[in-house]
Amino acid sequence: MIIYFIREYSIKNKLFDIPNNRSSHTLPTPKSGGVAIVITMLITIMSLAFYDFIDINITLSMIIGLSIVAVTGLIDDLKNLSIKNRVVAYIVSVVISLYLIGGLNNISINNYNIHLSDAGYIVSLLFMFWIINLYNFMDGTDGFAAIQTISACLFICYLLFISDNAPFFTLVFCLLSSTIAFLYWNWSPAKIFMGDVGSCSIGFLFGVLAIYTEGQGMIPISVWLILLAPFIGDATFTLFKRILNREKWYKAHNSHAYQKFYQARVSHRQLAIGLLVINVLITWPCAYVANFNKNLEFAMILLSYSIIGGVWLMGQNNYLIIKTKSP
């Protein structure tokens, strides 16, 4: 219902995402549908805090950080903020959030505790900042970001359910259900886009939850890294490639693997379904093994990113083959 009113408001006020030479779309489309997800999550967080189901620190961390990220994203959707302003806003949101919950002082991988001390705050800041931005980078085709969010949330909900963690199960389930509702409107052909307000906000939530649940011993950071491998892998491999090629890596582009597949005439629906298949057949099994067999955590991380890396290479090479054959 919220998405319907957002879409009608966007159409009435001509708030469209206008296609350009980097776009995977051909028609102007209403945007900022992610506002509905943000509203749902803020209400959920405040409700859980009101009944003392979640700690005040994680409550404030999520509410303050999410609000800053969402408002910044919404302004960018409407007025196109400069990169500098967005970077400052996202860093402020992450710093405040980490101040309230602490960083990754210790990371446990393969039953080995890695003590990071104060460096853990820097690692956490970089991790959250990258997750926020890469989720925005990867939201470029219909249903793509929504499918990744749903896939990750489903597995996290499973782990929280079997561990009887009702508060955080409720939190992640609300993110899951609101994204499913959004997917109805965002499935190809999309009737509305998530916008920066949605993609960056989801990235923030995944980032802060990954750090908090690792610190509290709820869900290992390895599980989060595996579940988010399709997005982290594509965005990170592409960033490194652009840096190595001495391109202006900080500029907008369309060289991610999923964009290359689209340019090779893979449809929006095929991309979304393919992403779902990758999650079900690769990230879920790897995350399951990593969660229940601590001695295999690193191996599962390596396996998942190796497979994602292979898919990424396929995307790059497929596009190059088609490009060379074109007149």
pLDDT at res. 256: 95
| Three-state SS at 208 | helix
pLDDT at res. 325: 39
pLDDT band at 239 (very low <50, low <70, confident <90, very high): very high
pLDDT band at 320 (very low <50, low <70, confident <90, very high): very low
Other beta carbons less than 10 A from residue 324's beta carbon: 7
pLDDT band at 323 (very low <50, low <70, confident <90, very high): very low
pLDDT band at 103 (very low <50, low <70, confident <90, very high): confident
- The secondary element (H helix, E strand) that includes residue 231 is helix 229-244
Using the 8-state DSSP alphabet, how is residue 279 labeled? I
The 10s digit of each residue's pLDDT in 210-219 is 999 999 999 9
State the pairing for strand pair 112-115/16-17: unpaired
| Three-state SS at 30 | strand
pLDDT at res. 48: 98
SS3 content of the chain, % helix, strand, coil (to 5): 70, 5, 25
The 10s digit of each residue's pLDDT in 240-270 is 999 999 998 878 888 999 999 999 999 999 9
CB contact at 8 A, 230 and 278: yes
| DSSP-derived secondary structure for 55-108 | -HHHHHHHHHHHHHHHHHHHHHHHH---HHHHHHHHHHHHHHHHHHH---SEEE
Of the listed ranges 220-229, 273-282, 300-309, 313-322, the least confidently predicted one is 313-322
Would you say residue 327 has pLDDT above 70?
no
Would you say residue 63 has pLDDT above 80?
yes
217: left (phi over 0), alpha (psi -120 to 50) or beta: left
